[in-house]
Homo-oligomer: A and B are copies of this chain.
Amino acid sequence: MDTVDRLIESTRELLWERGYVGTSPKAIQQRAGAGQGSMYHHFTGKPELALAAIDRSARELCSAADAELAAPGSAVERVTAYLRRERDVLRGCPIGRLTQDPEIMADPMLREPVTQTFDWMRRRLARVLTEGRDRGEFDASLNADATASTIVAVLQGGYVLARAAGSAEPFDEAVTGVLGLLAGHVVPDENS
């Protein structure tokens, strides 16, 4: 991993742990094992470095979700796999946490990948649910768009509850709850 990569990775970790406001150039340099001159040679400053880090996290997040949601299986199976995927719950979501950062939200450049990520995620899940309903897996009363937003919200809120509790338990419980609610709209398989 070269210096540029180490700087981006360090920034990614620090944004995740401490947010933009709580992350200093000095902390980034120390974690990357790079000097000030090195950092300012490759990047114009903290915002540009943060943008590179956020972009990378956003891409990773979407591609990981897509791997789960594009897999074979029923809609419920895929949504369950996505929700139950092993996660470092107490770390929270590297993109979601940025929505709490006033300087990220105030800068259109930094904010854009955050907006895009959740837009994409809601649409991607809505597509899975719509397909499932079209195939007769769900009853017709299921609102695919709204339910997709609910599922993404449960994940993001689950992180909040877990961090507040200092335990992954509320996250798992919230996921259990939404899957239980969703089960009420699943049409029993005639082949089972």
Neighbouring B residues of A21 by C-beta, 8 Å: 18-19, 21-22
Q: How many copies does the complex hold?
A: 2
Say which one of A5-13, A44-52, A62-70, A144-152 lies at the interface with B.
A144-152
Residues of chain A whose beta carbon lies under 8 Å from any beta carbon of chain B: 17-19, 21-22, 92, 95-97, 99-103, 105, 111, 114-115, 117-119, 122, 139, 141-143, 145-161, 163-166, 170-171, 173-178, 180-185
- A183 and B151 alpha carbons, distance in the complex (Å): 16
Neighbouring B residues of A165 by C-beta, 8 Å: 115, 118-119
A99 touches B174 (CB 8 A): no
- A113 and B17 alpha carbons, distance in the complex (Å): 21
CB distance from A149 to the nearest CB of B (A): 4
